[in-house]
Structure 1
Amino acid sequence: MGFVLPEYRHPDFNGAPLAGAPAAVFCACPADGVAPAGFHATSVFPEYVRMQDGHWELLRRSRMDCVIRLGTDGRPEVTEFRRLRKGDMVAVGRGENGEQGIYLHTGGFEPARQCGGEAFAFRTGTSRETSFSIAYDTLYDIMRHDRSHGRIIWVAGPAVVFDSDARAAFCRLIDKGYVHGLLAGNALATHDLEGALYNTALGQGIYDKRQMPLGHYHHLDTLNTLREAGGIERAVQQGQIRGGVMHALTRQGIPYVLAGSIRDDGPLPEVEPDVYSAQDAMRNLAGEATTVVALATQLHTIATGNMTPSYQVAQDGGVRPVYFFIVDMSEFAAGKLADRGSLTAHAILTNVQDFMVNLDRAL
């Protein structure tokens, strides 16, 4: 039997306390970018809003730390504070159990509760001693399913392309259809392109680890070459870039977002230097995700976690979970994501380069 998505269970709107819940209250924004007092802030979980006609509306494309605004079609929509305009009608009320017309549903994908759980048990958290066999097998099943029935979005740091085998594995996963979008920064793309031009990353051989003479110039020469060519796509078309992750993405027409950073040098022409434009572009891709795989990049992972809901609503109204995997050697990095509210993320603590090779072989 193949992988089957867990069934989503809507709340019981006919039973207490939701049957007698009032309609949600919407108040006008007093100024551009300012929500009314007592605004309701959204989370990663499914949230329902009771409308004036009594029906409960499930928020679509929800995300953390936003507000609920009435759209021009009269339906509630999730938006950022910076998008609010004076007079916009925003939901108020901080109750989450229906008492103010808003219900936070955290157990929609949970199986029926099992009896016999112990109040005290060892190894209930995640550490480097945790068994990850089931996490790997679950990920394999999800990716095989979502290759054709979902959108797999990757969030990657430069460590992924510092190793020859890991970089090649990522390219094969792209070619095999397991990558529908990439969120990264200038570093991943630059070092991947350096690998295409010089077979190094920051001047070190990506296979033999040899330090090349004047190798510290390689990434700067790469940036200069790509800027002169007019960008990644032009360089691929002209045959200057003949391999690597960015080459594979370009050849397959897969979208990516390279978000700018204070630390960037160059940067590549494709890097989005405006933080809010980059945020918008990242959110558009993250909002499509049914599975997210985040690799060795703490800040990009936290950012994506905050943008990604724990569920997707299909056009026909069906609801499915969004799976979020973080792969890192650091227990701190994995824990940090949970600390920032992304409670549905699953951690696999390992060397990301070994992970990529194992994933490619398994798929």
Structure 2
Amino acid sequence: MRITGRALVSAAGLSLADAVRQALAGERAITHREGLPFAAMPLTGDWAGRLSQVLGLLANAQAAPVDAVLHIGSSSWQIGGAQRAERIGVLAESPSSFAAGLGRRFGMTAVPRCFSVACVSGLAALDAAQGELAANRSQQVRVIGLELDNAYTRQGFAALQLLSSEPCKPFDLQRDGLMLGEAIAVLDCDADGGVGWHLTGSGTALDRSGPTSADASGEPVAAAIRAALRRAGRAPSDIGVVKLHGAGSPMTEPAEAAGLCKVFGEVPPCVSFKSLLGHTLGASGPAEIALLTACLDEGWIPATIGFDVPDPALAVTPTTTNQRWDGRPALVLAMGFGGQVWAGVLERQA
């Protein structure tokens, strides 16, 4: 499956180009919610107004392909709008009508397919797009990962004591939790084998150790990576860069590191974007794929913002400076509530 277009609005700016500039410059702009760091999009206004602004920016940046179907992944959908509706005493719209409204803003009339499986929601939407294109049920699919700030999500993560009091530090010795963020990302896809980025294989696994914990052996992570490599027809030695899940979690990163070491032995250069974008939950897959591939198009693997001191227990050290990309395929890794693990192989074909 080929990615024919990308767009992103995030805490790193109002365009994908903005995010690339910030990633390569090592800059970030962090705000706060209830005293905790939060990666907010640089927009003002209420929830509905900010959503409308973002959709306008995305529609202008990336026109919807003709006759494309729409896949949307989110873990919060219209919760922010529902909170606003409760305050003014009206009923909030349903997730299905909300998704249909998003489609209309892009000029798309087909009934959208909706995916909500926590942090891998956007990647589930992408996987389904790949299946639909491979089966020739569609010619083009627009995948959207969507996550906007809302109090319910923030309060839920805070209640689970998963949030850091500082901007997150992926894989760092001093990491102590997540930093949430918001983003909306677009990936347009088709089945053409031509020039561009291709998702050549993906794999999933289920970590059964608990809804918010992770198997320290790393075997579920390794299983997902091996499946992705097998479907892509690639060996571990073919991979030139790894996009880590890398959320700064003391619980999940030992499992992530162990799984990578099981597969690679010596892990390739690896980067996390969550200290720049925040953990954008259901949007994180499409958002981070858009940013990774755009940075690699510039020839660079960015430094991991927030990483300072390696943790000897992890045996995985993210990038500390921008590194030249050697053109080899990228591995993308993601983990989510409920034990979901996703891995994918991305290759740029000339």
Q: TM-score normalized by structure 1?
A: 0.26
RCO greater where, 1 or 2, for CA within 8 Å and sep 6 or more? 2
Q: TM-score normalized by structure 2?
A: 0.27
Whose Rg is larger?
1
